[in-house]
Amino acid sequence: MKHLKYFESNEDYIKEYGMTPDDITYFFTDLIDSGWIIRTRFYKKLYKFDVNEPMKEGDIKLGLVPYIEVTVTKNWDRFEVSQWKATQYLNELINSEEYLEIIDVASNRLSDENLFIHRQYIENKQIHILIYRKTDKNYVK
């Protein structure tokens, strides 16, 4: 029993995030068709909440805010493609018309589900797209 794992079902994702990993990945189908690999992960981040209630001195209120991370990458040959070349290639992708259109459409669809794209950045030969719930907008900076 010590090593028993907990497996989340799609109902758990829908209850907390409003969507499943497959729903999010579907928004980026055009990138998948172009040979990119899309990974969708659901996480929670620890935040300090501002409280209007009187609290004892030194008390803080912490809470977990759920978010979705979508990574866009390729199967890079680690010996032939340097970090610098991969970053340049990903920067070209981020600035391309096709990518901007995909992000715009995804943003509109996410908005219908009360989600929004908070940030996009390049790190370790990947594009990271962070998606949060609109109800958590005050906690995300």
DSSP string, 86-116: HHHHHHHHHTSHHHHHHHHHHHHHHHHTTEE
pTM of this prediction? Answer: 0.81
Tens of pLDDT along 48-68? 776 666 667 667 778 888 899
Q: What is the mean pLDDT of the chain?
A: 84
Q: Which residues are CB-neighbours of 94 under 8 A, at least 6 positions away?
A: 120, 122, 127
Strands (E), the chain: 37-49, 61-73, 115-123, 126-133
Tens of pLDDT along 89-102? 999 999 999 999 99
